[in-house]
Amino acid sequence: TRGSDMTVIDDYTILFKEGGTIYVQKPYGGCYGLGNGNYSLVTRIAGSNRLCSGQIGSLVDRVSGYSYGSCVFGEFVPYRKAG
């Protein structure tokens, strides 16, 4: 997704909104700690301006700035509002 808003539901579900489409993201094995709000998800995009399945995101402590761990993005499943 590109230029999207991110909403963390829990350690296993992230929503990305891009235009009128919401993408549901379920990182492989979850992203332990992301759901508690103490960490930020940081990604590096090289060669493309889109997040993709298989890409790695790092969890960074919001206070200390230290890396806490990482997670691997699964498929981005698109949903559009009917109507």
**CA-to-CA distance for 58 and 45, rounded, in angstroms?**
12
End-to-end CA distance of the chain: 23
Q: How many residues are recorded in the chain?
A: 83
**CA-to-CA distance for 39 and 58, rounded, in angstroms?**
9
Q: Based on the number of CB atoms within 10 Å of its own CB, is 56 exposed (0-12), middle (13-18) or buried (19 or more)?
A: exposed
Query: CB within 8 A of 36, min separation 6: which ones?
Result: none
Residue 76: per-residue pLDDT: 94
Residue 19: per-residue pLDDT: 84
Tens-digit pLDDT profile for residues 40-70? 998 877 666 778 899 999 999 999 999 989 9
